[in-house]
């Protein structure tokens, strides 16, 4: 007999066993303070509901609502409340999944029409009613067969599919009021503990990320332990909108995208190309200082080579292919193959190592249209890609050298960052021994340098583990840019060797690494980090000459030539417009300095600089202004 909705709602969560009590009662016995803010417990590493039964002699650890785990419980519970509200407001809607995510939650729904932004206030209002009702979250375990019968009776086919795919003997369901969901939990004791949430947007999402499956409506929300934290978050979101590189980029004349060209392809305008040039020139100088050699490989290589490397088997869904003279070629998604061929073009001695090959290499990757986003996810991009080929004995020092390189460069841009070691993924090549050696080498380099790091299980490259560098920008958001990958496998596949002191051939190790990562992505991060107000040293336009009247143009042109000859990136606005208008436009373009040229400046052959902050500097000579810019650049301001 299949369970009814009433049975699911009203039966107690668990029968108390002899010698056990609820987790909440166990916490009370410990006489802990602040129990009203506890939303779960940790017992032997497992996170459980407060209603769960625990051994009477156990010492459960409390999970407070404002902790990382507590917020996840809060947000997951809020997604269930949202699903309940949607079901009550939109009869016939079918629910799918609703996880907690960073800062919030989402839930995907199948409805006869896509949800719209205008639906959100109504859903929020219904959610507030459910929260006010203070409905308990009740857990129930059923056999998979019973759960399938229940959800099939409810018309929730997506839940039936999920249970079938789980293949478990039993599953857990949670009920609050009239809503029951398939869920592992844990959840809040009741809906009344939800104090601060906001629905933010709607989007489309394919069921299980498969473009061949139904398109669903995804509703996103955020949730926090209190109203103050929610308000702080929403203020940060508003600030992020102002910094959005997708809007700022075109506004500042940096880049555009065009439907006529295709999605994920960036067109660089003069100022954007100047910014790229500055960054690329900076990169070349920094690499040459550290003993790297500049190299360049072709854009297309024979498909047979990609098969040899393992890319064809493990990465071809992200590659483009073409045919020339009945020969198949792959358009490169990475730069490593040409670098290995350069290495193997002659006999190498241990005295030649390490070899550090650096290329600003443009690559192409077949990204799905749904994930493309501004400069952050594109189909053509340039990496500051390098491959270090060294002896096993040099590996630790070379990894340390790259970590030092990352530290130095991120310090210049004033980025803080975190480190993460990503281990072997399911889809990979190479022996267990090689993966163990590579992973150990990365961990040893981190430990030897007393660097804190997290472990990201199963997220390494298909040919080796990696260290990922997560930048934190001015708003505290994280971005993946630099990466360091240790590879014993490709040197084996390409038979890379060196002659050691014993006169015999030995196998080198290869480090794949980027510092800024994709230039496009890094510029997107810079735009948002600086809100488009780049430091003087990388600003594509460092100064704008603004004439007051037409009679000042002659001196303005003379001044412009003087500054250009001194390598100052300067533009001029000689239009017959009011000075206030010119100043406002230059400020909107976030130019570091506006140089006012009126009759006084012409008479004294000087400049009155105005900073983009609005501060006016005293009258100075062109030479003094050149020194000011030079000092800004020297100090990386």
- Residues marked active site are found at 336, 365, 383, 385, 387, 466, 512
- DSSP-derived letter for residue 192 is G
The count of C-alpha atoms lying within 13 angstroms of the C-alpha of 317, restricted to the half-sphere facing its C-beta, is 2
The CA distance from 205 to 108, in Å, is 7
Residue with the two structure tokens 């409810």: 154
Give the strands of the sheet with 38-43, arranged side by side.
Answer: 46-48, 38-43, 61-64
Q: Which two tokens stand for residue 589?
A: 């373009």
Distance of alpha carbon 132 from alpha carbon 484, whole angstroms: 50
Measure the CA–CA gap between 306 and 429, rounded to whole angstroms. 13
Establish how many alpha carbons lie within 13 A of residue 335's alpha carbon, considering only the half-sphere containing its beta carbon. Answer: 26
Two structure tokens written together for 191: 């809906």
Kindly give, in sequence order, each residue whose CB lies less than 8 Å from that of residue 321, ignoring residues fewer than 6 positions away.
303, 328, 329, 330, 331
Distance CA 493, CA 463 (A): 11
209: left (phi over 0), alpha (psi -120 to 50) or beta: left
In this structure, what are the phi and psi dihedrals at residue 71, rounded to the nearest 5 degrees? -65, -35
* Torsion sign across C-alpha atoms 344, 345, 349, 350: negative
Exposed, middle or buried: residue 111 (CB in 10 Å: 0-12, 13-18, 19+)? middle
Helix ranges (H only) for 380-496 are 395-412, 432-448, 489-493
Residue 453 CB burial class (10 angstroms; 0-12, 13-18, ≥19): middle
Residue with tokens 């995804």: 218
Cα separation, 590 vs 31, whole angstroms: 58
């Amino acid at each position: 007999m299949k369970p009814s909705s009433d049975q699911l709602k009203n039966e107690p969560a668990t029968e108390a066993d002899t010698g056990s009590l609820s987790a909440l009662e166990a916490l009370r016995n410990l006489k802990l303070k602040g129990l009203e803010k506890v939303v779960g417990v940790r017992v032997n590493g497992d996170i459980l509901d407060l209603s769960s039964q625990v051994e009477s002699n156990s010492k459960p650890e409390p999970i407070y609502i404002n902790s990382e785990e507590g917020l996840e419980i809060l947000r997951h519970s809020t997604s269930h409340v949202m699903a309940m509200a949607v079901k009550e407001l939109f009869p016939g809607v079918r629910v799918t999944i609703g996880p907690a995510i960073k800062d919030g939650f989402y839930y995907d729904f199948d409805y006869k029409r896509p949800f719209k932004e205008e639906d959100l206030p109504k859903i929020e209002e219904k959610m507030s009613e459910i929260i006010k009702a203070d409905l308990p979250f009740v857990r129930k375990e059923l056999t998979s067969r019973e759960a399938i019968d229940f959800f099939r009776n409810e018309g929730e086919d997506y839940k039936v599919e999920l249970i079938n795919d789980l293949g478990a003997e039993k599953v857990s369901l949670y009920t609050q009021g009239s809503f029951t969901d398939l869920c592992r939990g844990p959840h809040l004791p009741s809906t009344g503990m939800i104090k601060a949430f906001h629905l933010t947007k709607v989007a489309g999402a394919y069921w299980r990320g498969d473009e061949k499956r139904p398109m669903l409506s995804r509703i996103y929300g955020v949730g926090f332990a209190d109203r103050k934290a929610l308000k702080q978050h929403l203020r940060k979101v508003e600030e992020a909108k102002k910094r959005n590189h997708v809007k700022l980029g075109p506004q500042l004349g940096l880049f555009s995208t065009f439907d006529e060209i295709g999605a994920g392809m960036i067109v660089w305008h003069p100022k954007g190309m100047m910014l790229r040039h500055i960054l690329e020139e900076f990169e070349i100088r920094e690499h040459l200082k550290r003993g790297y050699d500049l190299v360049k490989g072709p854009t297309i290589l024979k498909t047979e080579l990609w098969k040899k490397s393992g890319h064809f088997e493990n990465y071809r869904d992200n590659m483009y292919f073409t045919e020339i003279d009945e020969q198949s070629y792959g358009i490169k998604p990475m730069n490593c193959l040409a670098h290995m061929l350069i290495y193997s073009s002659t006999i190498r001695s241990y005295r030649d190592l390490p070899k550090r090959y650096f290329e600003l290499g443009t690559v192409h990757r077949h990204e799905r249209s749904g994930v493309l986003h501004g400069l952050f996810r594109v189909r053509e991009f340039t990496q500051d890609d390098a491959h270090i080929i060294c002896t096993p004995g040099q590996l630790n020092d070379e990894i340390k050298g790259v970590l030092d390189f990352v530290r130095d460069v991120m310090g210049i841009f004033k980025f803080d960052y975190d480190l993460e070691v990503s281990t072997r993924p399911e889809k990979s090549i190479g022996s267990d021994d090689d993966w163990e050696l590579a992973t150990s080498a990365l961990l040893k380099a981190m430990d030897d340098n007393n660097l804190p790091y997290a472990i990201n299980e199963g997220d390494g490259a298909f040919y080796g583990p990696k260290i990922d560098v997560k930048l934190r920008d001015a708003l505290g958001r994280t971005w993946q840019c630099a990466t360091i990958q240790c590879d014993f496998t490709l040197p084996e596949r390409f038979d890379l060797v060196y002659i050691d002191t014993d006169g015999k051939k030995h196998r080198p190790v290869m480090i794949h690494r980027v510092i800024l990562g994709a230039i496009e992505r890094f510029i997107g991060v810079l735009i948002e980090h600086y809100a488009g107000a780049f430091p003087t040293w990388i600003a594509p336009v460092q100064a704008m000459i603004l004439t007051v009247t037409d009679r000042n143009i002659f001196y303005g042109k003379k001044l412009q030539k003087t500054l250009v000859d001194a390598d100052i990136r300067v533009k001029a606005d000689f239009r017959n417009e009011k000075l206030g208008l010119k100043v406002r436009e230059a400020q909107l373009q976030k130019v570091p300095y506006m140089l006012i040229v009126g009759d006084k400046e012409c008479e004294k052959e000087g400049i009155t600089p105005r900073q983009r902050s609005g501060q006016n500097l005293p009258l100075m000579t062109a030479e003094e202004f050149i020194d000011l810019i030079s000092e800004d650049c020297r100090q990386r301001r």
